[in-house]
Chain A
Amino acid sequence: MFSYYLRQSLISLKRNPILSLLMVMAIALGIAAAMTTITVNYLMSADPIPSKSDRLFYVQLDSWSADEPFLEPNQPPDQLTWRDATELMRAAKAERQSAMATSMMVIEPDVAQQKPFSASVRLAYSDFFPMFNVPFQYGQGWHSDADQSRQLVVVLSHDMNERLFGGENSVGQSLRMGGRLFQIVGVMQPWQPRPRFFDVTTGAFADMNDVYVPFLLKEALTLPNGGNNNCWKPLPDATFQAYLNSECISNQFWVELSDQQAVADYQRFLDNYVTEQKKLGRFPRPLNNHLSDVMSWMEKQQVVSDDAQIMMYMALMFLLVCLLNTVALLLAKFLGKTPEIALRRALGANRRQLMQQHVLETACIGIAGGVLGLVLTWLGLLGVERLYQGNLKDLTQLDLPLLGMGMLLALVAAILAGLYPTWRACAIAPAGQLKTQ
């Protein structure tokens, strides 16, 4: 009977094309509004590294002023000082650890046709690559020896390798950056975790860096800050070394800890470290050191903004309004069909069979509304991307699960909207209808 019901549903929809189109449009608009905001929220709140997000921890030490917290209520700073970052690296108490910072360097390509250009640099330790599952196209990350010996080695992003070497294997070649020759040891595959969890301080959805070099080169080459820098204490002088020794924060710090015991041990280590530092006159605030796993850190940093969530709730309310309109339109349509329903009853259809037929009809409306709604969602996401001028790039893409979710939402919404009209129409007394024909 399914194919029969389906054919009858399509005939019924063709019978009142404008009414059918209105219902499809109502569902499509509701689905488009809901799916546009759900997509942005879903991609914003996605786990960027699901295989180990519960084993990676962001480190916060409360090195801020005694007079006021870094952020209310009593939040420690979101970055570390150079001194603390390098001390924690020296202690090496975690399974893997990496301090990070960002900078800018001028790249001078060997090719005469290419002019020098400024590239974004991520300073990190060798653990950065295995810790964050960085995929390599050629070569690999540098060896840990290069960290301490401050070797001039570099890992290129996929895009940078495309730009400089046309995508060829450039491992082993030299690259002039900041007036010095760096040896290329690795080229990444395209890698764009969303959100860019390992550094949300410069924007959770900002572009990835162009090149990656050892962290301590910041000191060796006196590289400028490329990201956020916050200070609560004036610098004693304007030298670079004074800045590195200051209480200014501009470095991120991640550790990989395999279990709860390791987390507890590392927390104890941090507290002990800060207690020792207090004896040196630093860390004037009470102990307030945090270890946050990836998803907790995303939440703390409000990667999914309140605005996006409010927009999603408003869009869901709009979907509800669209569904109420669909209920009214379906009610008008199905009550207009009561003579036919009465006739089918007279010819032997039971109420359940007629309910099935009409539920299938609403499902057809839902599917049509879903398809149109997803097209509108795609347009809506393009609009959002334009509105934010590319800052939400990659957050405005419908993937297969989202497409499936959109269709399912449309189908369920349409069937729910159709339940009452279907019940009303199928509950009519056939005798009364047949008499009035």
Chain B
Amino acid sequence: MLVMQQLTKKFRTDDVETHALRDFNLNVNEGDFIAVTGPSGSGKTTFLTIAGLLEDFDSGSYQLDGESVQGLNDKALSRLRNEKIGFIFQSFNLIADLNLFDNVDLPLRYRGFNAAERKRRIEQSLELVGLQHRLKHLPTQLSGGQQQRVAIARALAGEPRFLLADEPTGNLDSQMAQSVMALLEQINQRGTTIVMVTHDSELAKRASRNLVIRDGRASEQVVNQRAVSQFASA
């Protein structure tokens, strides 16, 4: 589903060149729940933004759902991102002056669904995260855990095949973190592939695969029997 081969990404300043990813290989299968861990600056977020088509890479190849993303223009990349990928961020990234309905509506607007279809999807995804009764509330009227649930509902509303989560529990207390993690597991069990960057080793253990990134290279630790990837480290 998501195949990266020999992927390289460098950041350059005036006199310093930093390898964020080097010879990065990964094969994500349908239904995987991959936890990505690693020390700060190891390239986790860079991997996630490249996987989410928000950043370009220097060399190597990347196929998303069988389609090479190399050379695609902005419109095509945006369409792919909209249809196939859902994002969850550490700081929720809800728009403060839009109510929950309008926040969840965001990706659907760019998808071109009609009003009835958008309403159905918004209500369905907010129901999934248990917030269907707070459609007209503003994000500031919710707790952190509830805000992250709204962000998850927004990511799910377009029914993407991949969910990319960057420290989704990083801003939550442990109880809320457990609750959000349980929700992600539930979503994964319904068939959505999840790639989650986290610093929390306990949460990482609950994923089917554990990917560790160090110095821009990936290595995998099999943590339970659900791991099915054909991982090949460079």
A residues contacting B by CB (< 8 A) are 1, 4, 11, 14-15, 339-340, 343-353, 429-431, 434-435, 437
CB-CB nearest 8 A-B residue pairs: A348-B82, A350-B78, A431-B49, A348-B110, A347-B107, A431-B55, A431-B54, A437-B91
Q: Is the CB of A4 within 8 A of B75?
A: no
Cα distance A313–B17 in the bound complex, in angstroms: 53
Q: Is the CB of A434 within 8 A of B54?
A: yes
A437 touching B106 in the complex, CB below 8 Å, given contacts A11-B98, A349-B78: no
Contacts of A348 in B (CB 8 A): 78-79, 81-83, 107, 110-111, 158
Q: Is the CB of B93 within 8 A of A434?
A: yes
B residues contacting A by CB (< 8 A) are 45-46, 49, 52, 54-55, 74-75, 77-79, 81-83, 87, 89-91, 93, 95, 97-98, 106-107, 109-111, 154, 158, 166
Cα distance A419–B109 in the bound complex, in angstroms: 24
Apart from the given pairs A346-B87, A434-B49, A434-B54, 14 other A-B contacts in the complex at a CB distance below 8 Å: A14-B97, A339-B93, A344-B110, A347-B81, A347-B87, A348-B78, A348-B81, A348-B83, A349-B78, A349-B82, A350-B77, A350-B110, A431-B54, A437-B89
Cα distance A350–B45 in the bound complex, in angstroms: 22
CB A9 to nearest CB in B, in angstroms, measures 13
A346 touching B81 in the complex, CB below 8 Å, given contacts A11-B97, A431-B49, A431-B54: yes
Q: Is the CB of A347 within 8 A of B54?
A: no
Q: Is the CB of A350 within 8 A of B49?
A: no
Partner of B110, one of A340, A349, A429, A437: A349
Cα distance A351–B73 in the bound complex, in angstroms: 11
User: What are 27 contact pairs spanning A and B, CB under 8 A?
Assistant: A1-B109, A11-B97, A15-B97, A339-B93, A345-B54, A346-B54, A346-B93, A347-B87, A347-B107, A347-B110, A347-B154, A348-B81, A348-B110, A349-B78, A349-B110, A350-B75, A350-B77, A350-B78, A351-B74, A351-B78, A352-B75, A431-B46, A434-B54, A434-B93, A435-B45, A437-B90, A437-B93
Contacts of A14 in B (CB 8 A): 97
Q: Is the CB of B55 within 8 A of A429?
A: yes
Partner of B95, one of A340, A352, A434: A340
Cα distance A286–B57 in the bound complex, in angstroms: 85
CB A174 to nearest CB in B, in angstroms, measures 77
Cα distance A434–B93 in the bound complex, in angstroms: 8
CB B124 to nearest CB in A, in angstroms, measures 18
Cα distance A350–B110 in the bound complex, in angstroms: 8
Contacts of B75 in A (CB 8 A): 350, 352
Q: Is the CB of B97 within 8 A of A347?
A: no
Contacts of B54 in A (CB 8 A): 345-346, 429-431, 434
A435 touching B49 in the complex, CB below 8 Å, given contacts A1-B109, A15-B97, A348-B107: yes
Cα distance A349–B81 in the bound complex, in angstroms: 9
**Closest residue to B78 on the A side, CB-wise?**
A350
Contacts of A353 in B (CB 8 A): 78, 110
Cα distance A347–B98 in the bound complex, in angstroms: 15
Contacts of B74 in A (CB 8 A): 350-352
Q: Is the CB of A343 within 8 A of B95?
A: yes
**Closest residue to B80 on the A side, CB-wise?**
A348
Cα distance A384–B95 in the bound complex, in angstroms: 48
**Closest residue to A351 on the B side, CB-wise?**
B74
The interface centre, meaning the residue of A1, A4, A14, A350 with most chain B CB atoms within 10 A of its CB, is: A350
